[in-house]
Amino acid sequence: MLGLLSREDVELIAELSRCPPVTHPNICRQSHLNKYSSISGLCNNRQNPLMGVASTPLVRWLPAEYEDGGREPKGWNQGRLHNGFQLPPPWEVSKKIMSSSSKLKDDVYSHMLVEWGQYISHDMTMTPQIKGGAGLWSDVDCLKTCQNVHPCFPIETGDSIKAARGCMPFFRSNAACAIHRGSDIRQALQRQQMNGITSFIDASTVYGHSPRLQSSLRDLSGLDGKLAVNDQFRDHTGRTYPPSVANLPSACRQGPHVERVECFRAGDSRLNEGLPLICLHTLWLREHNRIAEALKHINSHWSPETIYQETRKIVGALHQIITMRDYVPKIIGEESFEQYIGPYRGYDPTTDPSTSNVFATAAFRFGHGTISPILQRLNESFQMHEHFPHLRISSTFFSPWRIVKEGGIEPTLRGAIGTPASTASANMLLTEEVTERLIVLNNSQFMDLASLNLQRGRDHGLPGYNDWRSFCGLERIKTLEGLKEVVRDYRVAEKILQLYTNPDNIDVWLGGLVEDTLPGSRTGPLNACLIGKQMKAFRDGDRFWWEADGMFSQQQKDELLNGSLSRIICDNSNIREVHTDSFRFGKFPNDYLSCDHMPSINLEAWREEKSRDLVQCGTPRQIKNGDFILSSTSGKLVALYSCYHGFKLKGAAAIICEENRWSNHPPQCTGT
């Protein structure tokens, strides 16, 4: 039965149940899957259709370590010893080691490097948390209990004045459905966590990860392949913003004495967390619509679906190029890039591109140590803005009104590219803005990001820091002297061992974060290894990677390499001067270049003349609540029809151009 399901059926079941069914490779033979990637990632790997797909388990590079062997996190049972000692409470680790009132500045890279890290992490990983207890585990309310009762794993604070009841609420991550891949019985019996989005670098931040979400983000009535925009607000030059969320009123914070501005909506629900994140989402929304408009002009015979999919393909490629060419080498260093990633040698169907648990939960959270306490907003001269002063970031969380009502995206974007990044050092890890004043929607209590990260690693049963060093071929830390050697800060090393006693107990997120950075990088040896291995898997295991055979013509590849984040800023904002590499810090105006001189992508490389068959058969007929793309099968022109989300195809999905006419009437899309 399951082998007979269509790709659309499998995606619908996955969306409704959050559990993709066992999927037969036969569904991946549909020819339009060779041209464009599915929104959920399904069938990227034809032999293992669920690899990298939304709502599948985060993969384990090392087996999980739970206190009961199966599901109870480290620290669940009070008094339990680990390697002969109790684990220190996350809140105590945060207060004694992590929290810092000041940050060092990076004289090489701009703050945009930090912001891109957060943005692109949202393209690769999202771990859903259990919300509420009724009907799931129990009727316990995690916002009101300090007891370890599933699904609640509260963080003890020992501070009943600052944190009500002496704890911070913590919801455990959703358990993933059992996906039978491989033969590891131990892993099959253990609790695994889910990646709620696709693992691929595929611009799911822009387009979503499910058919329903994708459909809700599109402007289907416009028949031009564009994305929907905000119907209430535009900036002073008429540029668009993302649309508002559907459920109103939204939970976003509101400004005093200004018109209400609701939370924005995009492919990723976390876009409202900070102002730079909103800016990046806004840029990519505008970029999609800019490219779609140009492609419609160049190829007037393309269907709206073709315009949308070709634009999505280009935007996805730009996400991959900016990340792998411009971002990752700066983070892990050129030497580690060569060691762990190396040159591209083509798509490898034996590589599992799924996001690993340790990457999502620890290694790629290294960026939390680079968060700046101040969000800078700059004017056209890249000086402090005269109308919109700098802000403490705790006052910017979930505040889209500050973009709409305080000058648009430009002041914040200039602040990101025009100020140096903050750096993490062992004695200045996380700013107090996120350890003392972190805001989480629908929770009135200030939260602590460091405690949340440590507790999340224990919730997921991540092995300790030393086990991961062994995994990467690094020497295990056995003594204080050994720890001092990798941390390069004696006082911090001493504090860590005072709290953990045994080096094997050190949480992997903390251990990776305090390591001294490698030359030319912003990470230590452990995180460089884990990030490098993951990025290689994302690249090599992606059938739709931009460099893979058949994805783009050589001319198109050459043009894509002219793309950059700086060019995106030029084309989609009112900023007219940029650094050639937005991740590098430079002084204005000497190190800046006019947008008129920035390389750009010539979309003429996507010009496609009407084929002889298309001229003879004519453009296939449009259908209501659906559309077609043209493909070539066995040398014949085929129109492949599909329905928008919520509609079911009735009739033949494919019609063929034969003897100067289409072989059949187009199908219909009926409501389901």
Q: Which residues are catalytic?
A: 122
Count of helices and strands (H, E) across the chain: 23, 20
The CA distance from 5 to 11, in Å, is: 10
Closest C-alpha to 360, from 60, 6, 8 = 60
Name the 3-class secondary structure at 24. coil
Virtual torsion, Cα 389, 394, 395, 398, nearest 10 deg: 120
Dihedral over Cα of 274, 278, 281, 284: its sign: negative
Dihedral over Cα of 567, 119, 195, 324: its sign: positive
The CA distance from 270 to 257, in Å, is: 26
- For residue 597, say whether it is annotated as part of any ligand binding site: no
Distance of CA 138 to the CA centre of its chain: 31
Closest C-alpha to 362, from 239, 523, 178 = 523
The length of the chain is: 672
Tracing tokens 């004289």 back to the chain, one arrives at 107
Closest C-alpha to 579, from 385, 416, 377, 372 = 416
CB 655 within 8 A of CB 620: yes
CA angle in degrees (0–180, nearest 5) for 427-432-438: 135
The CA distance from 344 to 401, in Å, is: 43
Name the 3-class secondary structure at 640. strand
Name the burial class of residue 132, with classes exposed (0-12), middle (13-18) and buried (19+) by CB atoms within 10 angstroms of its CB: middle
Q: What are the Cα distances from residue 406, in Å, to 266, 278, 372, 414, 609?
A: 21, 13, 20, 14, 45
Beta strands in 487-540 (DSSP E): none
The CA distance from 662 to 656, in Å, is: 5
Name the 3-class secondary structure at 273. helix
Tracing tokens 């959920």 back to the chain, one arrives at 40
The per-residue b/e assignment along 599-620, b for 16 or more CB within 10 angstroms, e otherwise, is eebebebbeeeeeebbeebebb
Region of 396 please: left (phi>0), alpha (psi -120 to 50) or beta. alpha
Q: What residues have CB less than 8 Å from 183, skipping those under 6 apart?
A: none
260: its two tokens: 């209400």
The CA distance from 641 to 622, in Å, is: 9
Q: Percent helix, strand, coil in the chain (nearest 5)?
A: 40, 15, 50
DSSP 345-380: ----TTS--PPBHHHHHTGGGGGGGG--SEE--B-T
- For the chain, what is the radius of gyration of the CA atoms? 25
Closest C-alpha to 49, from 67, 66, 30 = 30
Angle at which helices 565-572 and 275-298 cross, to 10°: 80
Name the 3-class secondary structure at 277. helix
Binding residues for heme b: 368
Binding residues: 368
